[in-house]
């Protein structure tokens, strides 16, 4: 039994040494640019887009409102305020997510209020502070390199 304790103790010491070391790939310039903390993380606001109380009956108006919603998403992304957005594909009450690069719920609420579909009551937003990887801010730039077609074509 004594040997088991020695092996366990030695394993814990080795484990701690491995994970206590500084990251040799650390890029302080990038970390500072992205506002990263020492763990490579930062605060964001995550938004859950939900079905709102109003449903559009007119398919033409619904299509126009959806297009305005998408244009608003692209505008917020271009401004650097929205770093991730996407729909859920299961057609339930929870319709999609946004991740805002803002510090407060109040800032995110002001941004959501610019969305025509939210103004129309077709969608509503549930906002939560979220702690995630600082590198997420780079997704918009990288994703543009993958887009063969523009969503508005």
Domain boundaries, the chain: 27-144
The residues pairing with 108 across neighbouring beta strands, listed in sequence order, are none
The residues pairing with 87 across neighbouring beta strands, listed in sequence order, are 96
pTM, rounded to two decimals: 0.79
User: Domain 27-144, what fold?
Assistant: Alpha-Beta Plaits (3.30.70)
* pLDDT digits (tens), the chain, 153 positions: 555 445 555 555 555 555 556 788 899 999 999 999 999 999 999 999 999 998 877 888 988 999 999 999 999 999 999 999 999 999 899 999 999 999 999 999 999 999 999 999 999 999 999 999 999 988 878 887 888 887 766
Sign of torsion, CA 100 122 74 95? positive
**CB burial of residue 87 (10 Å; 0-12, 13-18, 19+):** exposed
Sign of torsion, CA 8 9 10 11? positive
């Amino acid at each position: 039994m004594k040997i088991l304790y020695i092996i366990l103790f030695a394993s814990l010491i080795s484990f701690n040494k491995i994970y206590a070391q500084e990251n040799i790939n650390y890029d302080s310039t990038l970390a500072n640019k992205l506002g990263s903390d020492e763990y490579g993380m930062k605060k964001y606001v995550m938004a859950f887009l939900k079905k709102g109380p109003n449903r559009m009956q007119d398919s033409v108006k619904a299509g126009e409102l959806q297009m305005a919603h998408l244009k608003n998403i692209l505008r917020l992304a271009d401004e650097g305020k929205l770093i991730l957005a996407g729909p859920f594909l299961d057609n339930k009450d929870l319709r999609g997510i946004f991740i805002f690069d803002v510090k407060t719920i109040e800032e995110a609420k002001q941004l959501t209020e610019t969305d025509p579909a939210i103004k129309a009551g077709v969608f509503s937003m549930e906002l939560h502070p979220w702690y995630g990887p600082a590198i997420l801010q780079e997704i918009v730039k990288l994703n543009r390199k993958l887009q063969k077609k523009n969503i508005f074509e």
